């Protein structure tokens, strides 16, 4: 049991040692090629069908997040893309007559679904409602079709009337 003074000194913030410094991103010369976006998957030829599909899925998911994913979202995106490629390859094999390991396939699709739920399955919407002033200005301005119609009518020859004779 700690004495009262020992407990007070342990709780005194001034005497406690500082925690470790903040985590910072390593300098480029100390970073890995994956961390600097130079390599997508270490040791994988990205020219293969699976590699190209992995890049496509990653790009689609980044676009789904409005092209501004955070570092944790990028990690989830990579896992979702890897599971997506694996599931697509399993589906292709099954379509060609190979046996499908239903347990592994179901586990992979459920993991992918949970990761996608973490990212957010719905697209992020943006407000496209115009302000009142821009709406009224658009209503007051003539449309290009109306301008073209009035120019076409002005260029047409007028039929002669009795007053013209």
- DSSP symbols for 13-59: TTTSPPPPPPP-PPPGGGS-TTTTTS-SSTT--TTSHHHHHHHHHHH
pLDDT digits (tens, 9 = 90+) for 58-90: 999 988 888 788 889 999 999 999 999 999 999
Nearest-angstrom CA–CA distance, 94 and 122: 30
- Would 88 be classed as within a structural domain? yes
pLDDT at 82: 94
- Would 111 be classed as within a structural domain? yes
pLDDT at 92: 95
- Would 90 be classed as within a structural domain? yes
pLDDT, greater one: 16 or 118: 118
CA 82 to chain centroid, in Å, comes to 16
pTM for this prediction? 0.54
User: Domain of 82?
Assistant: 69-119
- Would 82 be classed as within a structural domain? yes
pLDDT at 33: 52
Nearest-angstrom CA–CA distance, 143 and 141: 6
- Would 30 be classed as within a structural domain? no
- Average per-residue pLDDT for the chain: 77
pLDDT at 12: 46
CA atoms within 13 A on the CB side of 26: 9
Number of structural domains found in the chain = 1
Least confident of 135-144, 145-154, 156-165: 156-165
pLDDT at 28: 56
pLDDT, greater one: 7 or 123: 123
Burial class (CB in 10 A: 0-12, 13-18, 19+), 135: exposed
pLDDT at 20: 46
Taking residues 121-138, what's their average pLDDT?
A: 75
- Would 20 be classed as within a structural domain? no
């Amino acid at each position: 049991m700690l004495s009262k003074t020992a407990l007070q000194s342990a709780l005194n913030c001034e005497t406690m040692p500082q925690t470790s410094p903040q985590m910072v991103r390593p300098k480029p010369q100390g970073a890995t090629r994956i961390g600097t976006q130079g390599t997508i998957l270490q040791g994988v030829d990205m020219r293969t069908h699976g590699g190209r599909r992995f890049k496509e899925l990653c790009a689609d998911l980044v676009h789904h997040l409005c092209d501004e994913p955070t570092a944790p979202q990028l990690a989830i995106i990579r896992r979702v893309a890897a599971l997506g490629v694996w599931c697509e390859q399993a589906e292709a094999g099954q379509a060609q007559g190979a046996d499908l390991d239903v347990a592994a396939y179901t586990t992979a699709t459920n993991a992918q679904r949970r990761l996608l739920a973490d990212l957010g399955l719905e697209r992020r919407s943006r407000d496209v409602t115009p302000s009142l002033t821009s709406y009224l200005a658009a209503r007051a301005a003539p449309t290009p079709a109306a301008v073209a119609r009035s120019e076409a009518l002005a260029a047409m020859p007028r039929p002669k009337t009795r007053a013209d004779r």
